[in-house]
Structure 1
């Protein structure tokens, strides 16, 4: 018994139409399906909603719900804004730079490019306040992943016992730290 893949990931949005248009314009995602009901199928709760599905590439689907009868959505005040995010892979660094320029030209504030050694990322927010990451692989990704694979269980065990960052993979952000000193 094994999971095959993610069927879809669903988030809430403030405005269904704005969300479809934004993801289409900013990230070139196609709008593939809409479902609207006055009653929740799983709970039978009377609550009108619009459920949107967007093509996130390679069989991946990103979905949103607009819930007009519910209080305005917010964030968990105990979770830093950088923690909860949706990350999408792009082909390479040139594509990442192209997206960064496209987003900025359309008024989206972009953080990065951040060098995570294994991959390089930019960060920004959608109109509903969801943090988005676009990431491209580093040319040396495979070798670094092999190195990380060797220490993952030791890192997890040390973290579990101490709740302090293990030093097994300090090299990952060494380049980024050098740039900032």
Structure 2
């Protein structure tokens, strides 16, 4: 057991192409308040010369999303060995109604939205920010019993995955819930 016991995430930081555009987009699309900025010519932790703008946005409930604009670095890219759907920022909304209203809002801004996708215990929509980061909005719909069962089988699933590298079938009931919702099966 580790002696470290985190009390939450202080902030999660990502790179952006343009700090102002990013702040404006997250404010307009997701209603995040821009709270703080740091700009330096030298990186405090390394001392290296690398001018940057570091912006912070209130993501709700004490969570902070931050971005770095790095004008002297090569153009921003993505990990081409990782599919676009893997790396994403997921934010919680309070209900299915809020999720559908969010989809309508995002689409009204001319942004393509995928979903809602039913994951058994939550539903979500997906779209991309101006930096190419995939954004997910999700709402929990599961029962206490379902979450308890997922917690119970999690170690079993991880052990089986570690040995086989194939999807363990311990939570097939999740897929059955989603299939029934879509009228399949």
Quote the Cα distance in structure 2 between the aligned partners of 1:14 and 1:33.
18
Equivalent position to 2:148, from 146, 149, 157 = 146
The root-mean-square deviation of aligned C-alpha atoms, in Å, is 1.2
- Tell me which residue corresponds to 1:36: 39
Distance 1:180 1:108, change over 3 A: farther
Distance 1:24 1:47, change over 3 A: same
Query: Taking structure 2 as the reference length, what is the TM-score of the superposition?
Result: 0.94
**Contiguous gaps of at least 5 residues in structure 1:** none
- Tell me which residue corresponds to 1:157: 159
For residues 1-150 of structure 1, the aligned pairs below 5 Å read 1-138=4-141, 140-150=142-152
Cα displacement (A) at 1:180: 8.3
Runs of 4+ in 1 over 3 A off after TM superposition: 175-181
Quote the Cα distance in structure 2 between the aligned partners of 1:34 and 1:180.
49
Cα displacement (A) at 1:170: 1.2
Cα displacement (A) at 1:171: 1.5
CA-to-aligned-CA distance 1:42-93 (integer Å, 9 cap, x gap) = 0111011000000000000000000001111111111011000010001111
Quote the Cα distance in structure 2 between the aligned partners of 1:41 and 1:11.
17
Query: Taking structure 1 as the reference length, what is the TM-score of the superposition?
Result: 0.96
Q: How many residues align?
A: 180
